[in-house]
Each structure stands twice: as structure tokens, then as C-alpha cells.
Amino acid sequence: MLEGLLWFDSDPNRNIADKINQAAQRYRQKLDQQPTVCYLNIQEFDEKCSEIDGILLKPRDNILRHHYLVGIEQTN
């Protein structure tokens, strides 16, 4: 990912899909593109759900909990 948007949302009443959709919406507003990937904390990742609305979810241990890094996956 060359460029992304880091989103923070610790609201316990909102599910992961809503949080990632809000992050993606802000990314679209700011950069006028649809994000294709979201990096999230490995502890928040559910193997049963690896994609949300066309956004591929990738767990990482270097992303803090409640933080979501959305952007476009670099294909090189």
C-alpha cells in the first residue's frame, strides 16, 4: 500500500463491519477511490470473514487494536 487512511474506532456498540465501512467511506471522500484492503489487528480478525463489501481484510500484529488502515493494495 502506497497511500492509506488510518481509522480509529473503539466503540464497543459498533461491529467491525460498520467500523471498516465508515473508514472506507472516509477514504472515498478524501481520495475519490474505493479502498481494496484493510489491515487490522490480528486479535480483531475473524477467519470466517475475510472480506467486507469488497474490501479484503488482512490481519497484522503491528496494527494496534481498534485501528483500521484502509487503502489500495499494491500489486507488484
Q: What's at 75, amino acid-wise?
A: T
Quote the CA–CA distance of 4 and 59 in Å, as a whole number. 16
- Per the prediction, the chain carries an average pLDDT of 94
The pLDDT tens digits of the residues spanning 65-75 come to 999 999 998 87
Does the pLDDT of residue 76 top 70, yes or no? no
Which pLDDT value is given to residue 24?
97
- What are the C-alpha distances in Å from 28 to residues 1, 40, 45, 51? 16, 19, 23, 18
Does the pLDDT of residue 2 top 70, yes or no? yes
